[in-house]
Each structure stands twice: as structure tokens, then as C-alpha cells.
Amino acid sequence: MEAEKVISVPIKELPHLKVILAGWYNFLKDSYDQKKIDAGAFKDSLKTSVVYNIDSDQIELLLSGTEQLLQNFRKNLS
């Protein structure tokens, strides 16, 4: 089993939060449907923490999953 990693995605505008979360969900759903991840990984990765950094007045999403899953998501975004 691969170790779980976390990446931080800084967000300045609330509408961007919705776009990134929707993209993350769609990416995870597609990965699950294509049998690239199992049900447990799908469920665990859906648990996305949202943190507000008061010093920089910025929201950060903490996306978790295997390193390969997170790399694939980054590629999917571009």
C-alpha cells in the first residue's frame, strides 16, 4: 500500500474553491470508474480539509491521496 500524501492548494476567491472541489470530485469519480482506485481510496480522498489562513487572508485546500493520484490530478488540471 502506497503512503498517503497531502498537497496544499491556495485559493484567493471563493468561486475558485467550488471549481477545484468539483474538479477533484470528478477526477476521483473518473479514477474510481476506470478502476484506477478502489472504493476505500475514493472515500478517503473525498475527505478534503479546508483551512483559512488569517495571516494571508487565503483559503487552502488540503487534498490527500497517493503520490501517483495527486500527480495525475495535477496533470489533469493542466
Encode pLDDT of 55-71 as tens digits. 988 999 999 999 999 99
CA dist., res. 14 & res. 34, Å (int)? 31
Among candidate residues 58, 78, 70, the one with its CA nearest the CA of residue 24: 70
Encode pLDDT of 16-55 as tens digits. 999 999 999 999 999 999 999 999 999 999 999 999 989 9
Contact 64, 44 (CB under 8 A): yes
Going by CATH, does the domain composed of 4-77 fall within 3.30.70? yes
Q: pTM of the predicted model, to two decimals? A: 0.86
Q: Where are the domains of the chain?
A: 4-77
